[in-house]
A and B are shown apart, each in its own frame.
Chain A
Amino acid sequence: MHTFKDHFKTFLLRLGSMTLAIVILTVLALASVIGTVLLQNQSQADYLQQFGPIWYWVFRSLGLFDMYHTWWFLSLLGLLMASLGVCLWRQIPRILKDMRSRKVTLSESAMKHMKHIQHWQADQLDSTAFIEHVKWQLNGWSFREDSYADTHYVRADKGRYNKLAYILVHAAILIILIGGWLGVQYGFRGDMAVPEGSKESEISYLKGTSTEYMKMPFEVQCNSFDIDFYPNGMPKEFRSNLTIIDQGKEVLTSDIIVNEPLYYKGVRIYQASFGDGGSNIHLKLFRMDGTSDVAEAQARVYTKYKDEKSGATLEITDFRPHNVENMAEADQPKDFKDLGASVDMIFRASGVKPVKVRSFIDPFVLEEQNRGSFFQISLSGDTKEFQPFALGLDFSNEKEWLLFVAFVKHLAATEMKSPEDSKMAFKAALDEVFPDGKPDNFKDMAVRVMQAVQTIPRLPWPFLPVLDDYDQKYYTGLQVASDPGMNVVWIGSALLVIGLYIMFYVSHRKVWLVIKQHEKGYSISLAGMSNRNPLNFDREFHDILSNLDQYTRTFGKGDAS
């Protein structure tokens, strides 16, 4: 059994050694670097695409996609805690013993090793008054005195608790790690999306590569969600009005914004994101079959609309009430402009490649001139690849569509040879659509209709889906978290800061004054040492020395003469 004990002792010694601590810290630091370079918690499909099947598999089995929560990373942290604990266990008695020992006497040999030492003589000295003067001079220091035969020793200490800082700092780090462990073990952190007017009590979070769900002991109801904007169009504030419902009872209603979470029963609820919560979308479908038929369609965001007549479907994916864009050229001063509301949908029709379409409610107005409605179309379905597509016509005015259809019809009846033909066709169309007389802006309309003849037929769709009206509804994206270890972490942090302050700004300074009486008078020695900040102590020692020297000169010589 003796050998086991020995082995255990060696094991503890190794565990608490600084070499091991430095190795662990280095490995942790290097692993952390990997975690910052490799984006964490992305979708698995993205990783697969980025790294290819082999590396994806290697990285995945090492847990690198959620590295900071893998067993090996947490084990390293645990090992660090053990190492720190053992180190503290071994060092604390040593440090305390060191702090308590304050030897008053100073041997001749010890004096020789002092870096700061001075000797001088005085003929006459009232040593009691002199020591009083020293004590006054070193205000705030703690003193010990002793006499042996003809020698009187005074020892003064300042900042004796400096050594405590080592204990404090290392214990603080241990406490912080324990707090972190408590948080991992007993806390949770997940997301919750609550549409306006709805309730939710489940959060979702990522664990490794899968999404997990967790029920909260209460429900969160989102009464409203609002965005405030700066005058330049940038978002200023996201504000949710929430009601907490506990066991069927409304217990708390409060606003939250970013930086001001809500706290209920140990759980914090943060404003994290927002999105469309299923807005009601009204579309107009302008049929491209030569008739002037305009169908109305209604659908919620995240649902599909099927047009019975053509068999085409529209999958509504997103709605945005504002589209603030920089309208200036690349090197010009920025000019932000709100293009108005838009809806994103995936357009699927037989014989046509599915495309993503963003339809805007307002026509595009540049330099106060109406340039007609427009789409943004992405053939790949990726919103980053949206290309603008000008329709020419202003679809917010249904008469303009009728005019266009009539014009196309009349134009087809002519031989379409001379500009005169199209002029005639337009006139006929005008008479047909506006029997009571031309509208004031018919010239602008003419420009747009001529434009539309060039562009609209290029779209091979059964109809043009144009956003007509909406009833907007947001969802508020909440982050819900509970961390029972947080206060432990704060306590550890406070100790860490206090410990570092003592460590760096309080140095343990020791000064010995040795007064030796002999026949001719007194020989005085002043010795000092400091465990840190030698540059400052040089000056301090010099100040003390010159002060005491002057004192003995004044009073010593005065009495002698």
Chain B
Amino acid sequence: MNTATQNRGILSALYEGRISYIRFWAYIGMMLGATGLALWGGNGYNEDNYLFMLVSMQGLIWLGTGGLLAAGAAIVASMVKPGVLRNTAAAVMVPWFDGGVLMVALMAALTVFEPAASAVSYLDQSNLFAGKVIMTMNVLLLFSSICYIAYLFAPESFIGKMATLTAWLGVYAGGSALLLRWYESYLLLDGEIGHAPVSNIYEVFILLFCITTVIYLQWERRYDAKAMGAFVMVLVAAGVFFGVWLDSVGQGEIKPLVPALKSYWMKIHVPLNFVGYGAFAVACGAGMAWLFRARLEVNGSSALLRVFPTLDQLDQLAYKSVAVGFPAFTLATILGAAWAAEAWGGYWSWDPKETWALIVWLVYGAYLHVRVSHGWHGRTLAWWTVIAFLVTVFCFLGVNMYLSGLHSYGRLA
């Protein structure tokens, strides 16, 4: 056995069996520790101070205790009842948690490139490093989408690998850039405006690219659906251009939070919503791929057909994406209602954003009904995912551009 295979053995062992199971519960324990810190550490939850509490000794104690206790419990459980190791949740979730940790580490490394404190100015934020990382993400994602398109016509494994690799790098660049923005928000104006990077349309767009790409990459890895990448990543690429435009008109600046957004709900409600939007984008990509393949089959050009997943698989993938997006979107809307009950005097105000969220929910709910109960498949549903995504785009972009309401802080200037 040479070193390479041995290393590989160690690496894959981290994601298998008992070690993966214990790590899974250690992560869960740490999260519970973080929640406990928020609720009972210090004087309870304090928006401005929580991040600093997390990285202090106090945070280390809470997270460490949570992680160790949960890991210990997992060890005991796996000894007493080895059957628990057959549960797939741990194997599925641990890579995600690891990815998150890697992203945080990447962000920490990138802070080295930040300008000196004296050079940081609220009025001119162009020297902050996150902007450059975001530009890197833009380039990577655009390159990736070009590779995916090229892969359709020249299905060589090298091009395919480049496409996947740059998509992953783009995700990590985007994710760490967002985290870096969070850090940077504390550098400005004496740390008084620190807030999570999900407060304006520019930031959530970056989040959307990352989530869409990640969901697609999961389908690619699990179901070998590389040809679908061209369709999903084209949507992402279109978004990238929009993001660049937003930045060019000054929407990319870090601004203080308006009082209505100063709540821990923002960190929960907004990202969860974008899991929904991202999944719907992937469903749209699958739908477009279905329609494209159907057209190819009519024309009978077989060269392209060889790389495509079958119509049945694409149909399944669109459904799977909706199956990810719909519960996430439902939960996000409910949590949004919970936030509204705390901030606006009622859980539902028929605000345009709320109403459009309801419309999006109804459109995808109807999709699920005709598919599951009425057994519809194929062309109609492919079109349905595409049109439903247009409705979704109107919900998260159009409402902010054309309609006014309580969600107007997401407004375009």
Contact = CB atoms under 8 A, between A and B. Distances in A.
A181 to B, nearest CB: 12
Contact of B345 (A28, A234, A268): A268
Contacts of A18: 369, 373-374
Contact of B350 (A35, A183, A232, A237): A35
A531 B262 CA distance: 44
Given A35-B350, A333-B123, A238 B86 contact: no
Given A259-B342, A489-B347, A139 B362 contact: no
A235 B258 contact: yes
Contacts of B341: 483, 486
B236 interface: no
A533 B320 CA distance: 8
Contacts of B87: 140
A121 interface: no
Nearest to B327: A500
Contacts of A68: 350
A25 B189 contact: no
Nearest to A257: B259
B403 A500 contact: no
A479 interface: yes
B362 A25 contact: yes
Q: Chain A's interface: helix, strand, loop or mixed, by majority?
A: mixed
Contacts of A384: none
Contact of A500 (B258, B326, B363): B326
B380 interface: no
Interface string B334-376: 1001100111111110101001101100110110010011100
A22 B327 CA distance: 20
Interface string B258-276: 1110110100000000000
A551 to B, nearest CB: 16
B357 to A, nearest CB: 10
A504 B358 CA distance: 20
Contacts of B313: 535
Contacts of B356: 32, 36
Interface in B149-194: 189-190, 192-193
A63 interface: no
B203 to A, nearest CB: 17
A178 to B, nearest CB: 14
B404 A189 contact: no
Contact of A236 (B256, B331, B399, B405): B256
Contacts of A136: 83
B120 interface: no
B334 A493 contact: yes
Contacts of B352: 36
A235 B365 CA distance: 40
A39 B348 CA distance: 16
Given A232-B189, A481-B346, A497-B330, A36 B316 contact: no
Given A18-B373, A68-B350, A29 B262 contact: no
Interface in A494-524: 496-497, 500-501, 504
Nearest to A139: B83
B327 A535 contact: no
Interface string A512-552: 00000000000000000000111100000000000000000
A190 B107 CA distance: 46
Nearest to A228: B259
B323 interface: yes
Nearest to A481: B345
A180 B189 contact: no
Contacts of A36: 352, 355-356, 399, 403, 405
Q: Which of A183, A238, A500 has the most CB of B within 10 A?
A: A500
A183 B345 CA distance: 12
Contacts of B327: 497, 500-501, 504
Interface in A456-511: 479-481, 483, 486, 489-490, 493, 496-497, 500-501, 504
A33 B356 CA distance: 7
B381 to A, nearest CB: 15
B292 interface: no
B331 A29 contact: no
Interface string A228-260: 001110111110000000000000000001111
A270 interface: yes
Interface string A258-295: 11110000001010100000000000000000000000
Contacts of B223: 535
Contacts of A268: 345
A22 B259 contact: no
B350 A37 contact: no
Contacts of A39: 404
B334 A32 contact: no
Interface in A158-215: 180, 183, 189
Contacts of B260: 258-259
B262 A259 contact: yes
Contacts of B359: 29, 32-33
Contacts of B373: 18
A29 B362 CA distance: 8
Contacts of A532: 372
Contacts of A180: 348
B242 interface: no
B350 A189 contact: no
Contact of A230 (B123, B256, B326, B374): B256
B241 interface: no
A486 B347 contact: yes
A285 to B, nearest CB: 38
A335 interface: yes
A134 to B, nearest CB: 13
A40 interface: yes
Contacts of B366: 22, 25
Interface string B78-122: 000001001100000000000000000000000000000000001
20 contacts: A25-B366, A29-B358, A29-B362, A36-B355, A189-B346, A231-B192, A234-B256, A235-B258, A236-B192, A236-B262, A237-B262, A260-B342, A270-B345, A483-B346, A483-B347, A486-B341, A496-B330, A500-B326, A500-B327, A535-B320
Given A18-B369, A32-B358, A36-B405, 4 more contacts: A40-B350, A261-B345, A480-B345, A504-B326
**7 nearest CB pairs, A to B:** A139-B83, A479-B345, A36-B352, A500-B327, A258-B259, A259-B263, A68-B350
